[in-house]
Structure 1
């Protein structure tokens, strides 16, 4: 049986030293008590998954209905979409293969009027299920898409349009919950205290997973196995100190203290590359507060060895790196024996050995240029291992936030742009934002053509 490991051999590199590994140990006892209290109070539901039984019941109930459609159009943004895209790319890659004729997931996670209209022109409404995701039920981009899609469904399906839609939102409040109650359409809840960036292993990510036939139970099993030791009433300082998420958090906090202000997330599992985008939101939205945090930067191996890695190796020494690998990826086809002499060393080798060589070479290069690096090695690229990875990074993010003495579960500055956008659209209740807009738009322009 393969195992998952964290390789810390190159973690204390550059301005970090091995003694830094113990820098934050004195805070562990207090944080372990706080962690258990938060888990016990269901304020960190992505760790102990208290909603799992209800979630599984709902997924089993709705799966035959979901499977009856050929297309799923998902309306959601940020945490309502990034995790789902990562799951699709990792475990339903056939959608992106030539001549694919099976199910397809379409994720509308932006305000792109041209593409959105084109999708609605081309999608067969009678074979399409629409899933609308907003925890608050009031995300303007998603609600605007819902208004358009609702009319599209009515036009093509008449009164049957409500049989082609599911709303995933708060269990009790918000506009989408009101729509569920008014229309009687299918719905699943986003659990309390589960923010979007922590929600991939809820209905938010697992309804699309069920549609695609992904092993969603494996994802849940993997996640729970990582958080299990932290959920026991006897959870102590020793339990937390031994947990890999604590070590990542302590290392990440030390990086920031030593002016490593960028955290690379370098993925050397090609089908898992989109987990880098998911992690970027998780880390940035959780930790970027009060002038604190570090900038997450997704990178894809080996693609970025030929682009941005020049900066990583030759640029400022301001980066730490989480390096995601898997030793059991497909080996692929065998090189022929008649290759030119210059490439004779490839004769009889498997195509996949190139990826393993590049993985090692890039890691060594980062080490030799004094980049602190932790290798996250998953034994197999399966749903269970993905669930473990998701839980590991979510818990590490929360602990890092607490070490920074900020709240890793809110996102106050994200709301500012939303309020200004609502004021620009003419929504009521935004008098102060309207004044700010008038001042902004009234500035003397300084424009140059190019």
Structure 2
């Protein structure tokens, strides 16, 4: 059996020292109690997954229908898409390979008129299921895409078009729920108190996972194994202190206190690189409030050793690093025995040994520049381990938010941008935002050609 580990050897480099390891432990007991109360009142459902039984039943019911399609067009943005893309690239990489003839997942996560028009021109409607994801049922970018896709389905399928959609939204409220009731369309709920960036292990991420044949039960098993001990009433100060999510949160808070304002997420598992983008939203949207937080910056090994790592190692000393590795990755093809003498050390070696050498070399370089670094090492690149990683980072993010004394579950400034966009489009009920837009657009321009 493989083991997942966290290596703290380089965590306390630079302006940090080993004595900082327990800097925030005085708050541990209080936050352990708070955590249990929040879990018990169903405010943190991504930790104990109280919706799991119903989710599994619904996924099993819908799976034969999902499997009947060759293409899935997923309409969603932010947390409705980033986790799904990470799962697809990690566990269904064949979609991106030459001459792939299996299922295809197309994720429309932006306002990109050219791309969606091309997709709808090329996709066979009769072989395509459209999955629309919005917890509120009113996300303007997603709803606008739905209107376009709905018309496309009607044109190609006539009265049967609604048999090709699934709406994933709030169980009771919102426009998409109204559409479910009006059309009798298939749907699955986003559980209460489950924000988008924490929702990948719900229908949001697992419906497309089921479509692709990814082992979604293993994802759930892995996640629950990380959070289980925190869900017990007996979870106290000692349990919390020993939990890796607490240690990451305490370390991250200490980094911010010592002016390390950027947190690198350096992934040395190529197939898992998109988890960096998922983590960036999780961290930024949860913690960037009230002038607090740190900037998450995804990086991919080995690629970014030849681009941005120059800045990481030689630039301002304002970065800590979460370093994701796995010692058991594909070894790949063997180098031939007739390589030029200059590269004779590669003769007979596996191509994958290069990745392991680069992983070690980069980590040592961070150490030599005294960059605080925590290595998260997964034993295997399976769905179980991915579930464990997702849960670990979600819990650590929440605890970091509480240490910062902010709410890690809301996103007020995201909502501000949405309100201003709606006002610009002429939606009603945005009088104050309309005044702000009038002032903004009425400024004297200062424009230079280039």
User: Same-fold call, TM > 0.5?
Assistant: yes
Q: Deviations over 1:387-445 (max 9, x none)?
A: 00000000000000000000000000111111110000000011111111111111111
Q: Deviations over 1:140-179 (max 9, x none)?
A: 0000000010010000000110110000000000000000
Q: Given the alignment of the two structures, is residue 221 of structure 1 paired with residue 221 of structure 2, yes or no? A: yes
* Secondary structure in 2 matching 1:74: strand
- State the 1:350 CA deviation: 0.2
Q: Determine the C-alpha separation between the residues in 1 that align with 2:357 and 2:241.
A: 34
Name the structure 2 match of 1:324. Answer: 324
- State the 1:233 CA deviation: 1.6
Name the structure 1 match of 2:248. Answer: 248
Name the structure 2 match of 1:143. Answer: 143
Q: Determine the C-alpha separation between the residues in 2 that align with 1:423 and 1:321.
A: 40
* Secondary structure in 1 matching 2:200: coil
Q: Determine the C-alpha separation between the residues in 2 that align with 1:306 and 1:99.
A: 30
Name the structure 2 match of 1:45. Answer: 45
Q: Given the alignment of the two structures, is residue 81 of structure 1 paired with residue 81 of structure 2, yes or no? A: yes
Name the structure 1 match of 2:122. Answer: 122
Q: Given the alignment of the two structures, is residue 389 of structure 1 paired with residue 389 of structure 2, yes or no? A: yes
Q: Given the alignment of the two structures, is residue 312 of structure 1 paired with residue 312 of structure 2, yes or no? A: yes
- State the 1:347 CA deviation: 0.2
Q: Determine the C-alpha separation between the residues in 1 that align with 2:51 and 2:410.
A: 21
Name the structure 2 match of 1:5. Answer: 5
* Secondary structure in 1 matching 2:105: strand
Q: Determine the C-alpha separation between the residues in 2 that align with 1:34 and 1:2.
A: 33
Q: Determine the C-alpha separation between the residues in 1 that align with 2:443 and 2:234.
A: 60
Q: Determine the C-alpha separation between the residues in 1 that align with 2:22 and 2:234.
A: 23
Name the structure 2 match of 1:423. Answer: 423
* Secondary structure in 2 matching 1:168: strand
Q: Deviations over 1:34-80 (max 9, x none)?
A: 00000011100000000000000000000000000000000000000
Counting only pairs closer than 5 Å after superposition, residues 38-187 of structure 1 correspond to structure 2 as: 38-187=38-187
- State the 1:232 CA deviation: 1.0
Q: Determine the C-alpha separation between the residues in 2 that align with 1:162 and 1:422.
A: 27
Q: Deviations over 1:194-233 (max 9, x none)?
A: 0000000000000000000000000000000000000112
Q: Determine the C-alpha separation between the residues in 1 that align with 2:429 and 2:45.
A: 33
Q: Which runs of 5+ in 1 are unaligned?
A: none
* Secondary structure in 1 matching 2:292: coil
Name the structure 1 match of 2:400. Answer: 400
Measured on the aligned residues, the alpha-carbon RMSD in Å equals: 0.3
Which segments of structure 1 move beyond 4 Å, counting only runs of 4 or more?
A: none
Q: Determine the C-alpha separation between the residues in 1 that align with 2:189 and 2:299.
A: 33
Q: Determine the C-alpha separation between the residues in 1 that align with 2:76 and 2:410.
A: 19
Q: Determine the C-alpha separation between the residues in 2 that align with 1:417 and 1:202.
A: 26
Name the structure 2 match of 1:191. Answer: 191
Q: Given the alignment of the two structures, is residue 371 of structure 1 paired with residue 352 of structure 2, yes or no? A: no
Q: Determine the C-alpha separation between the residues in 1 that align with 2:434 and 2:131.
A: 33
Q: Determine the C-alpha separation between the residues in 1 that align with 2:409 and 2:431.
A: 28
Counting only pairs closer than 5 Å after superposition, residues 273-284 of structure 1 correspond to structure 2 as: 273-284=273-284
Q: Determine the C-alpha separation between the residues in 2 that align with 1:151 and 1:29.
A: 55
| Equivalences, count | 450
Q: Determine the C-alpha separation between the residues in 1 that align with 2:142 and 2:344.
A: 55
Q: Determine the C-alpha separation between the residues in 1 that align with 2:22 and 2:437.
A: 49
* Secondary structure in 1 matching 2:361: helix
* Secondary structure in 1 matching 2:434: helix
Q: Determine the C-alpha separation between the residues in 1 that align with 2:116 and 2:16.
A: 48
Q: Given the alignment of the two structures, is residue 300 of structure 1 paired with residue 275 of structure 2, yes or no? A: no
- State the 1:128 CA deviation: 0.1
Q: Determine the C-alpha separation between the residues in 2 that align with 1:232 and 1:411.
A: 29
Q: Determine the C-alpha separation between the residues in 1 that align with 2:408 and 2:304.
A: 30
- State the 1:336 CA deviation: 0.1
* Secondary structure in 1 matching 2:130: strand
